[in-house]
Structure 1
């Protein structure tokens, strides 16, 4: 065999291997698209197969998923801690409620107002956050969540005080043929899809790379030309805006707001739900929303005093079994399954 033939042989052997890798990649991509299509179909058909209470629960999962998406943008992607996210949730809820109750605006029209006000307040909080980090930043955001409830009660003429405000739910248009709970579900689904698509595009852009650089190492990010003050402030504003959007949809769904619904417990629950779902992942907010809604509901069926205990125990268990959250656990399971299947194919 000549020298040129010896050199050409590995190239010829590599061609089939490359072809097999391309086929596997194509098949994997197709399976991902099929899985996504199946998920979309299940999400769209769910309200037609479930009783109204279950549809309401799914709607609340979507509401909390949007709130956790905003918190994830701040904590999971920008590396900034917040224990006061429930305050922005309340701002969005009360903005929508006041516009509906006092001014009679259509439900959808209240959404941009709630988002804008929460964005402005988040922008204001982002300024002092530039000088704080870690525990100190957590305490400042916690203080906001603590004084919000007394502040709402004080302006009784606007907020309804401790009694709150009772509202009307969105009425489905006649042409849809949908029930009230189904219409609310699809409204929440549309808002959730838009929020996730926006954040997904944001994270894949230059802004997302800047946020990740800040999270990983602020000094290195600054050396690379990332404007820390600009991106950290905007991270708070965007996060607060998504929480405000979630609060607005919450008002549509519950048709009632009261100060006791937005105590500091809500902020802690949101952070716990995000940690359990998985920080820094797109699936984390959805899994966290499922955790926040269904764990208290299922444990309530066992015992009225069980929700708090079960909630705390499950957080401990998840942190021990899956430190990166349920999304990380699902990712590891998928990778392990893929490796086993690949090994079986090679042995075959």
Structure 2
């Protein structure tokens, strides 16, 4: 009964801590655009849209156990879908979001077919090839994509009733999309699909024996990952207002994968931390060295992975565990001081032994006949 009560108390404390953390994060997110300068608000907006792309990559790599170096291609597909719709067909911004999501989902579904027969480095090379040949293809399709010059579209328009600046309105729209995307990823991982992905990642043979269809869930992992990347690319077009093939080179795919690893694989908070790393660390590297910012960026990645091998999301858990261990050792009784024995304390003290040289009075030898009284 005591164990059950302790477990129940731990669960309640965990839920309370998660609720307080969520409320605190929501308060900070809602108040941030009123505190920071416009450029800093723009940077926060970019962190949010990159977090959506990393959440999709986390489904594939962190929870699905498959390696992808072509995530930037799905990002570009969503961005160009929104740009073409806004430029050629003059649709509304919100109308581009479901089209980009569904189109990238179908693209990922078709691209997930190689994942059925390839794994490891071979699958990584195939996805990298997809990211490499997409920018030249976009340049060839000049009547649709604008070629090397790209496409310039209108940004989000601020409604008059909001009373917000352009950067603040864009931030809140992207914040809403990011919140819905992260909630969808969380619910997806807690569903049957998420449990199947974890089973496939841990042991494919055991998962197949338990009835998990490997081909279906591997393909769905690519499809869901592409959907999140397409949504992120669509929002990118809203924020930037310009797309070009050179903005979506294979370096973007590698940067996104590095950001996910630094943020923390198979973690719900890892995409947010990785997105912040992708957004801010290159700027810091540029400030440190104008001549070789890439070298500084690589050294910073090595330093972070040396300090936090499981990512920034795992570093917080490790620090919390170390603090809890030290607190437990401080409050626990010392091992060198055993508790007193109650039986030993209750027993009477032994009598003092007789002196060695003292002779007993009227002592008789052992086995002797008893003496008779004299009359």
Q: Is 1:216 matched with 2:207? A: no
1:292 to 278, 297, 308: 278
Q: Equivalent residues in 2 for 1:1-348 (5 A)?
A: 15=2, 26-346=12-332
Q: Relative to structure 2, which stretch is displaced further, 239-248 or 30-39? A: 30-39
Aligned-residue offset at 1:167: 1.2
Rounded Cα–Cα distance in structure 2 between residues aligned with 1:218 and 1:321: 32
Q: Which residue of the partner structure matches residue 364 of structure 2?
A: none
Superposition deviation, residue 32 in structure 1? 3.2
Where do 5+ consecutive residues of structure 2 fail to align? 335-375
Partners in 2 of 1:206 and 1:24 — Cα distance? Answer: 26
How far apart, in 1, do the equivalents of 2:13 and 2:104 lie? Answer: 44
Map of 1:10 onto structure 2: none
Aligned to 1:3: none
Q: Displacement, 1:29?
A: 3.6
Q: 1:22 to 1:134 in 2, by over 3 A?
A: closer
- Distance verdict in 2 for CA 1:26–1:127, change over 3 Å: closer
| Rounded Cα–Cα distance in structure 2 between residues aligned with 1:27 and 1:212 | 26
Give the structure with the larger helix fraction.
1
Shift of the alpha carbon at 1:273?
0.5
CA contact under 8 A between 1:85 and 1:270: conserved in structure 2? yes
Kindly indicate whether the alpha-carbon contact (under 8 Å) linking 1:295 and 1:307 is maintained by their aligned counterparts in 2: no
Residue 129 of structure 1 deviates from its aligned partner by 1.5
Task: Tell me the C-alpha RMSD between the 2 structures.
Answer: 1.8
Residue aligned with 1:175, SS? coil
Whole-angstrom distance in 2 between the partners of 1:28 and 1:234 = 32
In structure 1, how many angstroms separate the alpha carbons of the residues matched to 2:313 and 2:204?
26
Give distance in 2, aligned partners of 1:115 and 1:28.
Answer: 34
User: 2:57 & 2:67 partners in 1: Cα distance?
Assistant: 9
Q: CA deviation at 1:21?
A: 6.4
Of 323-332 and 247-256, the range deviating more from structure 2:
323-332
Q: Deviations for 1:102-142, whole angstroms, at most 9, x for unmatched residues?
A: 11111111001111111111011101221111111111100
Q: Give how far 1:321 is off.
A: 2.2
- TM superposition score normalised by structure 1: 0.92
SS in 2 for 1:281: coil
Question: How many correspondences in the alignment?
Answer: 334
The answer to whether the 8 Å contact 2:102/2:227 transfers is yes
TM-score, normalised by the number of residues in structure 2: 0.85
* Other structure's SS at 1:86 match: helix
Secondary structure of 1:174's aligned partner: coil
